[in-house]
Amino acid sequence: MTTATKTFTKARSRRMARTPANSGENNAQTGAKKPTAGVTQAAVKPSEAPKKSTKIDMVLSMLCRSEGATLNQLVDATGWLPHTTRAALTGLKKKGHVVASEKLDGVRTYRVAASSNA
């Protein structure tokens, strides 16, 4: 091995994990900001955006129709398997919705009869 002079680039300063940051000041490395005086995290509310429609909301709206919905209609609308759709109906029952079912011409139809939550 020959002894040649090596050129080293300036090593960047590294902060150890146990070394505290600049106690509340802006920290360029981590992007941490100084906390706002007098404002707690619970007091800051996120923007009031409309609630995103979910599949269970879609199922509930289909069940609230006057004609109700068949299992095949619910499966087609949600993309779920039949056993998953039946489990969602059970979940609605557990949330307090009264899901009634009746069999007309060999096809079972589900509908929401009443709701204790609304």
| DSSP per-residue letters across 33-58 | -PPPTT--TTTPPPP-PPPPP-HHHH
Look up residue 73 and give its two tokens.
Answer: 């209609």
- Per-residue tens of pLDDT for the chain, all 118 residues: 566 666 666 666 766 666 666 655 555 555 555 555 555 555 556 667 787 889 999 999 999 999 999 999 999 999 999 999 999 999 999 999 999 999 989 999 999 986 555 4
pTM above 0.75, yes or no: no
Give the domain ranges of the chain: 55-115
- Amino acid at the residue 40: T
pLDDT of residue 52: 83
Of the options 1.10.10.10, 1.10.1060.10, 3.40.50.360, 3.40.190.10, the CATH number for the domain spanning 55-115: 1.10.10.10
